[in-house]
Amino acid sequence: MELNVLWFGIIAALFVGYFVLDGFDFGVGMSLPFLGKDDVDRRVLINTIGPVWDLNETWVIVAGASLFAAFPEWYATMFSGFYLVLLIILLALIARGVSFEYRHQRPERVWKQRFDAMIVVGSALPAFLWGVVFANIVRGVALDANHDYIGTVFDLFSPYAVLGGVTTLLLFFTHGVLFVALKTEGEMRRRARTLAFRAGIPTVLVAAVFLVWTSLAFGSIPTALLAAVAALALVASVVANLRGWEGWAFGLMAATIGFAVLALFASLFPDVMPASNNPMNSLTIDNASSTPYTLEVMSWTALFAMPVILLYQGWSYWVFRKRVTRSSIEAAAH
Q: Based on the structure, what is the number of domains in the chain?
A: 1
Residue at 242: amino acid letter:
L
In a domain, 289, yes or no: no
Buried residues in 135-160 as b, exposed as e (16+ CB within 10 A): bbbbbbbbbeeebebeeeeeebebeb
Q: Note down the domain range covering 111.
A: 3-284+321-327
- The CA distance from 264 to 257, in Å, is 11
How high is the pLDDT of residue 105?
A: 83
In a domain, 293, yes or no: no
Q: What secondary structure letter does DSSP report for 154?
A: G
For residues 21 and 51, give the distance between their C-alpha atoms in angstroms, rounded to a whole number. 13
Look at residue 121 and tell me if it is in a domain. Answer: yes
CATH number, position 197: 1.20.1630.10
Predicted confidence at residue 104, as pLDDT, reads 84
Q: What is the C-alpha separation between 215 and 136, in angstroms, rounded? A: 15
Mean per-residue pLDDT pooled into runs of 10, the chain (334 residues): 90 95 95 92 92 89 93 93 94 93 86 93 97 94 92 93 97 97 93 95 95 88 93 96 94 96 93 91 92 92 89 90 80 59
Please state, in angstroms and rounded to a whole number, the distance separating the CA atoms of residues 304 and 29.
34
Q: Does residue 314 lie in a domain region?
A: no
Helix (H) or strand (E) holding 247: helix 246-268
| DSSP string covering 85-146 | HHHHHHHHHHHHHHHHHHTTSS--HHHHHHHHHHHHHHHHHHHHHHHHHHHHHHH-B-B-TT
The answer as to whether 294 is a domain residue is no
291 lies in a domain?
Answer: no
